[in-house]
Structure 1
Amino acid sequence: MAKVLEGKVAAVTGAASGIGLASSAAMLAAGARVVMVDRDAVALQALARNHGDAVVPLVIDLLDPGECASLLPKVLEKTGRLDILHANAGIYVGGDLVDADTAAIDRMLNLNVNVVMKNVHDVLPHMIARGTGDIIVTSSLAAHFPTPWEPVYASSKWAVNCFVQTVRRQVFKHGIRVGSISPGPVISALLADWPPEKLAEAKAAGSLLEASEVAEVVMFMLTRPRGMTIRDVVMLPTNFDL
């Protein structure tokens, strides 16, 4: 891949696995320096050893308010600037609402919604001052379809899509692009919480995406001419509707 992100600094949350890892790898291949944010210190250190100075490991528990607020200051301390934020960290709660643990609901909504809002809130002043920046939020196909087996998770992603579309309209005048990517089911750790029958059905039907395929679309969004914003992309396996 051409070094189309040469000289750029990106921060990716939930970067140690799944979509976050694939997105980080794609940006690294394109020449970016990537601050990989995750709470898994062991995984981040291994990634840093494999990629050298291009990877900046940043161990943060985003569910801790103090640590969450430290994200941008720590990024700037290590890199001096931030061009791209991929707000990707998230967790999943599926199944019937009556069976859901309310503490798990709180935790999921905090990470999937509140943390995303706080991360974007915190990086905006830096990007506004520089007159440029890209923010991509990982949403979900569930944000566009009232998925009956995941009402809590789907609701968090509907909230994220509203947030992305409204914030974009506030900050585009500052040269900042804000968009979301909404993949269908991706082969990742999140699927471990899927109802077993749904997961078996999806695997048999070939209706799952690879994280690398999502990363390719993230790169497409980041590499459009500055006069173009890809506000949201819905991507799903061709066999999804089988």
Structure 2
Amino acid sequence: MSGKLEGKFAAITGAASGIGWASAKAMLDEGATVVLVDRDADALARVCAEYDRAQPLEVDLLDTQACKNLVPQILSLTDGTLDIFHANAGLYVGGDLVDADPDAIDRMLQLNVNVVMKNVRDVVRYMAPRKTGDILVTSSLAAHFPTPWEPVYASSKWAIDCFVQTTRRQIFKDGLRIGSVSPGPVVTSLLSDWPEDKLAEAKASGSLVEAEEIAEILLFMLTRPRGMTIRDVVVMPTNFDL
């Protein structure tokens, strides 16, 4: 540990597994105190047991009232300080549009788009008066390419990529930075909904990225000089071919 985030307070949604846990672990290893937000209480308890500075916060972000109360709950665990917020929680809907369940579409758009916007809004309202803070958003390579096997998911990420870029232009005057990381296929539970032929093809060719590799990029974004914003990082396995 080099202590690059020593004394910082961070919060991460969807933090009990995948990119969220890798991000939390990287920040904890660099000295931050991290609030891990997730709806899976058992998974939170398991991962937080590894670190004294890991604070579990069980929240279902699809619950409208719970979503509204997220930032106050985070601040109650961090002595009223929040330096870093990573909006990572998300859902995946793949396959042909005509086969998608309408309720699943609603849940995914709510979590991938609406919840991110509302959480970031509340975080900005807290950070702006302090004139400093970092916001990270987990996007996807699908935000940059009209992926034919995931039109619903890709649309949610195109929306959030636009949100990050436009919000940056509103908040930089307050000393705040916002940026997104857009990975290609990462080894996480979201891939369980991938079409089987695509998943098998990706595994066979070695065209998957590990969550820990994404966490390294997030740390890079956080540790740039304050006068530099990494707005969007697109990363994919070398062997990945759309």
* TM-score interval (norm. to shorter): over 0.9
Rounded to whole Å, the distance in 1 between the matches of 2:156 and 2:125 is: 25
Which residue is equivalent to 2:186?
Answer: 186
Residue 39 of structure 2 is aligned to residue 39 of structure 1? yes
Which residue is equivalent to 2:195?
Answer: 195
Which residue is equivalent to 2:165?
Answer: 165
Give deviations 1:12-48, integer Å, cap 9, x for gaps: 0000000000000000000000000000111111222
Which residue is equivalent to 1:75?
Answer: 74
Q: CA deviation at 1:105?
A: 0.3
Which residue is equivalent to 1:95?
Answer: 95
Rounded to whole Å, the distance in 2 between the matches of 1:149 and 1:25 is: 32
Rounded to whole Å, the distance in 1 between the matches of 2:123 and 2:43 is: 25
Which residue is equivalent to 1:64?
Answer: 63
Divergent runs of 4+, >4 A: none
Which residue is equivalent to 1:17?
Answer: 17
For the residue of structure 2 that corresponds to 1:233, the secondary structure is strand
For the residue of structure 2 that corresponds to 1:198, the secondary structure is helix
Give deviations 1:145-171, integer Å, cap 9, x for gaps: 000000000000000000000000000
Opposite residue 220 of structure 2, the aligned amino acid is F
Question: 1:110-189, aligned counterparts within 5 Å?
Answer: 110-189=110-189
For the residue of structure 2 that corresponds to 1:2, the secondary structure is coil
Q: Is there any run of 5+ residues in structure 1 with no aligned partner, and where?
A: none
Rounded to whole Å, the distance in 2 between the matches of 1:105 and 1:43 is: 25
For the residue of structure 1 that corresponds to 2:23, the secondary structure is helix
Rounded to whole Å, the distance in 1 between the matches of 2:163 and 2:26 is: 26
Opposite residue 241 of structure 1, the aligned amino acid is D
Q: TM-score, normalised by structure 1?
A: 0.98
Opposite residue 203 of structure 1, the aligned amino acid is K
Rounded to whole Å, the distance in 2 between the matches of 1:121 and 1:147 is: 29
Q: TM-score, normalised by structure 2?
A: 0.98
What is the Cα-based RMSD across aligned positions, in Å?
A: 0.8
Rounded to whole Å, the distance in 1 between the matches of 2:96 and 2:47 is: 37
For the residue of structure 1 that corresponds to 2:148, the secondary structure is coil
Opposite residue 64 of structure 2, the aligned amino acid is P
Q: Is there any run of 5+ residues in structure 2 with no aligned partner, and where?
A: none
Rounded to whole Å, the distance in 2 between the matches of 1:149 and 1:78 is: 41
Rounded to whole Å, the distance in 2 between the matches of 1:159 and 1:150 is: 14
Rounded to whole Å, the distance in 2 between the matches of 1:46 and 1:186 is: 22
Q: CA deviation at 1:77?
A: 1.0
Which residue is equivalent to 1:2?
Answer: 2
Which residue is equivalent to 2:234?
Answer: 234
Give deviations 1:126-161, integer Å, cap 9, x for gaps: 100111000010000000000000000000000000
Q: Could you tell me the percent identity over the aligned residues? A: 70
Rounded to whole Å, the distance in 1 between the matches of 2:19 and 2:92 is: 14
Rounded to whole Å, the distance in 2 between the matches of 1:74 and 1:13 is: 13
Opposite residue 161 of structure 2, the aligned amino acid is N
Give deviations 1:91-115, integer Å, cap 9, x for gaps: 1000000000000000000000000
Residue 213 of structure 2 is aligned to residue 213 of structure 1? yes
